[in-house]
Amino acid sequence: LAKQSRPSGMRFYDPAVQAELEAKTELEHDLRLAIERQEFVLVYQTQVGSEGQAIGAEALIRWRHPCRGSVSPGEFIPLAEETGLIVPIGDWVLEAACQQLVVWANDESTRHLTLAVNVSAKQFQQPDFVVTVSNILSQTGAPAQRLKLELTESTVIGKVDDTIARMHQLKALGLSFAMDDFGTGYSSLQYLKRLPLDQIKIDQSFVRDLHHDPDDMAIVQTIIAMGHSLGLNVIAEGVETLAHWRYLHDHQCHAYQGYYFCKPVSASDMVRQSLVPPRMPIC
Ligand code: C2E
Ligand code: MG
Ligand code: MG
Ligand code: MG
């Protein structure tokens, strides 16, 4: 149809491309409605310290679509970024995470837990982002000292000075910063030196084959050593096995996150599972 209605010279019509476009438009339409339909939930993945004790969690968004089922963030976050919908979605995430922090703050056994929240580049770069975070903190009453924002290298690219200034404004509220997926973007030691970061997260792609890939071993050791010398806390993500944990532990990584300890689950399940810290067998 498109073929006939197009003026001559514009005869290209690819049903596969067309179908993909339509699917994307439909997903976007559903995504727009998802907030008001309350289809988003947060799940929580424990972060453990050197003894395997729970020190905090990362909040990860899930979209429970009435027909599609659970849509993974890998599928809809890129579209949300492209369409700008990441801004209201990101605000929702921050608010829900802060409400969770308040719940934890009210209980002796959970009040020490920190909560890390992913912030996409577009969200961070909104002119009113600092005001938004500040409002959410005061409206929820969440302890800012327990809130950590995870940025990626894409936030920093080409906007180093702006990013630094904004990070300082946010840190003045009491929160802290982690650099997510560290080593996968255009990591520059120049910006690493200047950004007011508190933590770097070793990307899971370096952890996966840690047992048998000497290159990954070298990269992981280098990131940890650099973190130590720059005074940054280092957390490894994608810790799936005891061997991963042991290697990272032997090399003085500070904290760990991954399926070996806990999958992302509801807040109550996360806390329940954290009551029994994993032990590293002595050998
Ligand atoms: P991320 O922030 O790097 O999150 C870590 C991802 O690794 C999560 O995937 C988590 O479920 C997964 N993971 C955790 N432990 C393991 C493990 O041991 N092995 C493996 N293979 N994977 C593990 P998830 O939840 O699908 O999220 C994917 C990405 O989507 C996140 O990567 C983050 O970039 C983005 N994302 C998730 N929630 C949000 C959000 O609320 N806001 C924004 N802007 N992005 C989000
Ligand atoms: Mg993250
Ligand atoms: Mg990551
Ligand atoms: Mg990732």
Q: What is the pLDDT of residue 229?
A: 92
| Predicted pLDDT of residue 104 | 97
ipTM comes to 0.97
Alpha helices in 106-188 (DSSP H): 121-124, 129-140, 153-156, 160-171
CA–centroid distance, 265 to ligand 1, in Å, is 12
Among the listed residues 277, 273, 271, the one whose alpha carbon sits nearest the alpha carbon of residue 109: 271
CA of 271 to the centre of ligand 4 (A): 23
Say what the pLDDT of residue 2 is: 46
Question: How do residues 98-121 score in pLDDT, each as one tens digit?
Answer: 999 999 999 999 999 999 999 999
User: What residue's CA is closest to ligand 1, atom 19?
Assistant: 238
Q: Which of 146-155, 186-195, 228-237 has the lowest mean pLDDT?
A: 186-195
Residues with C-beta atoms within 5 A of ion ligand 3? 180-181
Contact between 62 and 41 under an 8 Å Cβ cutoff? The reply is yes
- Pocket lining: 118 vs ligand 1, CB cutoff 6 Å: yes
Beta bridge partners of 233: 199
Return the DSSP state at 195: S
CB 47 within 8 A of CB 56: yes
| Ligand nearest to the backbone CA of 116 | 2
Note the ligand closest to the C-alpha atom of 97.
Answer: 1
Does 181 sit in the ligand 1 pocket, CB within 6 Å?
yes
pLDDT score of 155 more than 80: yes
Residue 7, pLDDT score: 55
Residue bearing the bigger pLDDT, 183 or 246: 246
Reading phi first (left if > 0) and then psi (alpha if -120 to 50, else beta), residue 200 is in beta
The whole-number pLDDT of residue 252 equals: 97
Contact 176, 148 (CB under 8 A): yes
Query: Is 90 exceeded by the pLDDT of residue 191?
Result: no
C-alpha 151/C-alpha 68 separation (Å) is: 29
Half-sphere exposure of 125 (CA within 13 A, CB side): 16
The CA distance from 103 to 141, in Å, is: 10
Confidence check: pLDDT of 1 > 50: no
Q: What is the CA radius of gyration of the chain?
A: 21
Identify the three-state secondary structure at position 147: strand
CB atoms within 10 A of CB 275: 8
State the pTM of this model.
Answer: 0.93
* CA 31 to ligand 2 center in whole angstroms: 21
What does the angle CA 265 – CA 182 – CA 258 come to, to the nearest 5 degrees? 25
245 lines ligand 1 (CB under 6 A): no
Read off the pLDDT band of 253 (50, 70, 90): very high
Q: What pLDDT is recorded for position 190?
A: 78
d(CA 246, CA 269): 25
Give the C-alpha distances (Å, rounded to integers) separating 44 from 56, 57, 93, 207: 9, 6, 12, 21
Q: Over the range 99-122, which residues count as b (16 or more CB within 10 Å of their CB) and which as e?
A: bbbeebeeeeebeebbbbbbbbbb
